[in-house]
């Protein structure tokens, strides 16, 4: 192998490479953010992220279950996210479809809010398991989010890139 990393599947790679850092858009993060993943074992991981949208900041965390595969592997996840804004002067919550579904007219008008989401969903990731770029992970996911104080199901999706160390 002459120094080139080669793993037989995603479980073997994630058993060796425990920490991943990357970027994401959509989903629990909202607009755009930075995410991390910590492989507790090859199948189970904790994720966390921070993000920013036009009228809010966000953070999220949760649990992810990976299914064993080679390059393309499915996964499921469940998590918590908080979207908030305390600065009424920047952006408008009215421009975000998800926030329009969960905020009151007063919260949108004043642009000061904090909303708590629970989400669950599934995704598909491409794992680079061999070569100089082993550890690169591209993913796409579909989630259903709900505001904790309301029972409104909101479908959403996300795409991202993580590099595992």
The secondary structure element, H or E, covering residue 69 is none
* Per-position pLDDT tens, the chain of length 165: 456 789 999 999 999 999 999 999 999 999 999 999 999 999 999 999 999 998 899 999 999 999 999 999 999 999 999 999 977 665 578 888 999 999 988 888 888 899 999 999 999 999 999 998 999 999 999 999 999 998 889 999 999 999 999
- CB proximity list for 157: less than 8 A, separation 6 or greater: 26, 27, 140, 141, 142, 143
> pTM of the predicted model, to two decimals?
0.91
DSSP the chain: -TT--B-SSHHHHHHH--EEEEEEEEGGGEEEEEEEEEESSSSEEEEEEEEEETTEEEEEEEEEEEPP-SSEEEEEEEEEEEEEE--TTSS-GGG-HHHHHHS-HHHHHHT-EEEEEEEEEEEEEEE--BSTTTTEEEEEEEEEEEETTS--EEEEEEEEEEEE-
Whether the Cβ atoms of residue 59 and residue 49 lie closer than 8 Å to each other: yes
């Amino acid at each position: 192998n002459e120094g080139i990393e080669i793993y037989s599947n995603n479980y073997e790679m994630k058993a060796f490479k425990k920490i991943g850092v990357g970027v994401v858009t959509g989903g629990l993060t909202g607009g755009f953010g930075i995410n991390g993943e910590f492989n507790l074992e090859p199948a189970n991981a904790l994720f966390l992220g921070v993000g920013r949208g036009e009228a809010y900041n966000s953070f999220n965390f949760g649990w992810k279950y990976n299914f064993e595969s080679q390059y393309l592997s499915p996964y499921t996840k469940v998590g918590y996210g908080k979207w908030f804004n305390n600065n009424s002067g920047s952006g408008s919550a009215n421009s975000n479809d998800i926030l329009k579904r969960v905020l009151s007219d007063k919260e949108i008008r004043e642009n000061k809010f904090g909303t708590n989401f629970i989400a669950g969903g599934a995704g598909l990731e491409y794992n680079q398991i061999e070569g100089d770029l082993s550890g690169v992970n591209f993913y796409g996911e579909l989630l259903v989010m709900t505001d904790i104080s309301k029972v409104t199901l909101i479908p959403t999706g996300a795409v991202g890139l993580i590099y595992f160390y």
